[in-house]
């Protein structure tokens, strides 16, 4: 009888665990104004919200001998950009965001897998709308210290100059088109 009860309990735990929508972890949390809170409802992010299909991905500057094939679509919810690609849930959490004449610029935490907290790197990002296309420019930079940064930069915030850093990689430039509503 005990073995049967333990077997039923184990099956129930496995079923509940498999039904959990891990791709949405943290997106139902309330906004806190900090990078690791729920999605920001700041109007600055409105043009970028929704699901996007990848159209093109390039490097800038071009890397000799480098080729790029395919890439994941993305989903944007508030300040959270999720790369939709199977089992791993990769994301950019935008912070220190500031409005520019072309769109927004920000820093971000790039997370290779949200279920593995030890794999984050700092990134620089630029988001802009080019007609009905969404352009996401991002690159990894020297991480520095871990912080739960504010999502929107204070008016006096001046971004660090990272152009000359040996730890700065080339820019990924990705162009997306909006996916039709389901």
Specify the pLDDT at position 169. 74
- β-bridge mates for residue 80, sequence order: 77, 93
Evaluate whether residue 6 is within a structural domain.
Answer: no
* Tally of domains in the chain: 1
Which string of b and e fits 10-35 if b means at least 16 CB within 10 Å? eeeeeeeeeeeeebeebeeeeeeebb
Specify the pLDDT at position 23. 46
Give 75's Cβ-side CA count (13 Å radius). Answer: 12
Evaluate whether residue 21 is within a structural domain.
Answer: no
Evaluate whether residue 18 is within a structural domain.
Answer: no
- 71 against 168, higher pLDDT: 71
How would you write the chain as a 3-class SS string?
CHHHHHHHHHHHHHHHHHHCCHHHCCCCCCECCECCCECCCCHHHHHHCEEEEEEEEEEECCCCCCCCCCCCEEEEECCEEEEEECCEEEEEEEEEEEECCCCEEEEEEEECCCCCCCCEEEEEEEEEEECCEEEEEEEEECCCCCCCCECECCCCCCCCCCCCCCCCCCEEEEEEEECCCC
Taking all residues of the chain, what is their mean pLDDT, rounded to a whole number? 81
Evaluate whether residue 88 is within a structural domain.
Answer: yes
Evaluate whether residue 20 is within a structural domain.
Answer: no
The domain in which residue 85 lies consists of 26-178
- For 65-85, write each residue's pLDDT tens digit: 666 667 889 999 999 999 987
- For 86-103, write each residue's pLDDT tens digit: 778 899 999 999 999 999
In this prediction, residues 15-33 reach a mean pLDDT of 64
- Give the C-alpha separation, 93 to 34, whole Å: 10
Evaluate whether residue 169 is within a structural domain.
Answer: yes
Evaluate whether residue 17 is within a structural domain.
Answer: no
Evaluate whether residue 32 is within a structural domain.
Answer: yes
């Amino acid at each position: 009888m005990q073995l049967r009860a333990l077997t039923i309990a184990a099956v129930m735990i496995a079923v509940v665990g498999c039904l959990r929508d891990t791709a949405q972890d943290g997106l139902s949390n309330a906004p806190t104004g900090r990078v690791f809170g729920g999605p920001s409802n700041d109007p600055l992010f409105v043009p970028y919200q929704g699901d996007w299909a990848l159209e093109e991905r390039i490097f800038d500057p071009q890397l000799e001998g480098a080729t790029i094939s395919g890439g994941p679509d993305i989903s944007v919810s508030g300040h959270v950009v999720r790369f939709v690609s199977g089992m791993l849930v990769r994301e950019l959490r935008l912070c220190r965001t500031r409005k520019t004449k072309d769109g927004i610029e920000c820093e971000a935490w790039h997370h290779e897998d949200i279920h593995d907290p030890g794999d984050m790197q700092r990134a620089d990002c630029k988001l802009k709308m080019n007609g009905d296309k969404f352009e996401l420019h991002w690159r990894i930079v020297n991480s520095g210290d871990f912080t739960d940064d504010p999502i929107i930069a204070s008016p006096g915030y001046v971004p660090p100059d990272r152009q000359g850093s040996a730890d700065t990689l080339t820019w990924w430039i990705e162009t997306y088109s909006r996916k039709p509503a389901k």
